[in-house]
Chain A
Amino acid sequence: MTEILHVRDVTVRFGGVYAVQNVDLRINNGELIGFIGPNGAGKTTLMRVITGIVQPQSGRVFLQGVDITDKATHLRIRAGLALAQQIVQPLRALTLLDNVAIACGSDKTRHALKSMWVTDIRSERAQARELLARVGLSHVVDELPGTMPLGYLKRLEVARALALNPRLLLLDEPLAGLSQKEAASLADLIATLNADGQTILLIEHNLREVMRICPTLYVQDNGKSLAFGKTDQVMSDPNVRNAYLGVGHA
């Protein structure tokens, strides 16, 4: 198995608060890892360290063996990452279709000056249509995000991340805000993507779905790694139970 991501001894401090403390995490090609932990455990922060939105105080991040710690966010994306954010951030002036199409066109947007000479967007829109259909949004492709319910926007985030065709797909609570039925169907899609070979790191609060689709779990609490391993083993780990039941989150 080849290693896709290696987070090595990463620490992030916000003022006096350790959001992430000496964390190590390795993800191999083809894995689907469920990343759980109570609110404030530093899950989103670790995601942001991986994508370069947050700079760690110490530690390194490697993508396919290359140290990307000092690289700008857009270069890390080009190197094979994609992120669906916890707080949805649609481009509000663009239709759902174009929100995804712009990500599909990453070859056309790579070189800024060259992008001026290209106007054809048909193939990207066709691709975007397919991706939106995959997340169950084909009936609203021409709508603006402002008119859409949260559940739709969460799925839009996922479609847009998929459009980047990443080596590693990072999903930050994609199921939050979805109805039980919607959550189950998006979880199914995530499992299917993984079965098709997509490597995925999935942050999720919905334990039921996580336990259903993720073979491997990584648990963080209070910024520290708590457990990593097979899902049933991790879930029976007393430390993990404590972290969840003790703090009172589920």
Chain B
Amino acid sequence: MSYEITLMTTMAISVLFALSLNFITGFCGQISLGHAAFLGAGAYTSAMLSKADVPFLFTIPAAAICAAMLGAIIGLASLRVRHDFLAITTMGVGFLFVGIIRQQDFFGGEIGIAGIPSSGFGKGGFMLICIALALTFAAFSLYVRRSWMGFVFKSIADNEDVTRVLGIDVSRYKLIAFIIGTGTAGVAGALYAHHFRFVGPDSFGFVESISVLAMVIVGGIGSVWGVIFAAALLSVLPMLVQFIDDYKLLFYSGLLFAMMRFSPDGIAGLCTRLFSSIPRRVPDNGGNNR
């Protein structure tokens, strides 16, 4: 039973983390290559507060705020610039984050922070908290998708310049998506810290950023259900198959590439195409079909 609980907890945390990136990349079309840094910011915040005897539940909002503030700073600096600048900045931030954590004894340096106190809810209780948070954010995502904010996100993901010409403050919308996404990654980080009861610089590197991006892309950019499915599956695969655990970066980048090449809209798109009863034929340009 304990093994299943661990598995479920891992899944729930990954789902939350992947959905947080989905908010930025899936909804708003902004590629982040350093999302693990925000997971890390949340994890370290929560870990250090817990070690200072702050109750687990209080460390969650603190982790969210810390990660969101980091997200706000990076967002303000990069979202106003050209479209793909964010991918580069976030990748830089990812490396910088690990570099800083490594160097500072304050953060436990190379060794990391071990002996993080238990959440106090037992393994089963903790799992339920993780699942509840993942489901809450999934529901929130589905709601936002239906709102005018989600409508604008869709438009921005489609074409930023057009959206601007429609009188919409594109930078502001992108910044909000980025802050919500990074703040939620911080929440996932707090859960991560209390799940493994250990955080170290290696847990939040480039590999983690690529794996979470793979989850979002494999699930189908923007599709909440697809991303939940892909995150649940891909998070436990390395635990079940040793080979994948050994070659994580290779596996995830291979998957990413294959998906982009063969089904850019991910599993969600694949399903839509498989199950749509009337196959739509799309003429490649506008001929005379009036």
Contacts and interface: CB of A to CB of B under 8 A. Distances in A.
Interface of A: 51, 53, 72-74, 77-78, 83, 85, 89-94, 98, 102-103, 105-106, 108-109, 112-113, 115-119, 121, 146-153, 160, 164
A153 B172 CA distance: 28
B96 interface: no
B105 interface: no
The 10 closest A-B pairs by CB, nearest first: A149-B286, A77-B167, A115-B148, A116-B149, A115-B149, A91-B158, A112-B172, A108-B148, A89-B162, A118-B148
A146 B172 CA distance: 28
Contact of A121 (B148, B157, B166, B176): B148
Nearest to A106: B167
A91 B285 CA distance: 16
Interface of B: 143-144, 146-149, 151-152, 154-155, 157-159, 161-170, 172-173, 176, 280, 282-283, 285-290
Contacts of B168: 74, 106, 109
Contacts of A91: 154-155, 158-159, 162-163
A72 B169 CA distance: 9
A150 B152 CA distance: 25
A85 B149 contact: no
A51 to B, nearest CB: 7
B154 to A, nearest CB: 6
A121 B167 contact: no
Nearest to B175: A112
Given A105-B148, A149-B286, A94 B169 contact: no
A73 B287 CA distance: 34
Nearest to A117: B147
Contact of A149 (B154, B165, B287): B287
Contacts of B157: 93
Contacts of B166: 74, 77, 102-103, 106, 109, 160, 164
A152 B144 CA distance: 31
Chain B residues touching A, majority SS: helix
Given A89-B159, A112-B173, A119 B148 contact: yes
A126 B159 CA distance: 24
B147 A119 contact: yes
Contacts of A153: 286
Contacts of B161: 53, 89
B148 A73 contact: no
Contact of B169 (A89, A108, A112, A160): A112
Nearest to A91: B158
A154 B157 CA distance: 22
Contacts of B176: 112-113
Contacts of A112: 149, 152, 169, 172-173, 176
A115 B147 contact: yes
Contacts of A90: 162
Name the residue in A73, A103, A109, A118 with the highest tally of chain B Cβ atoms < 10 Å from its Cβ: A109
B148 A94 contact: no
12 contacts: A74-B166, A91-B163, A109-B148, A112-B173, A115-B152, A116-B148, A119-B148, A147-B282, A148-B286, A149-B289, A149-B290, A150-B286
B289 A147 contact: yes
Contacts of A160: 166
A74 B161 CA distance: 10
B158 A147 contact: no
A93 B158 contact: yes
Contacts of B154: 91, 93-94
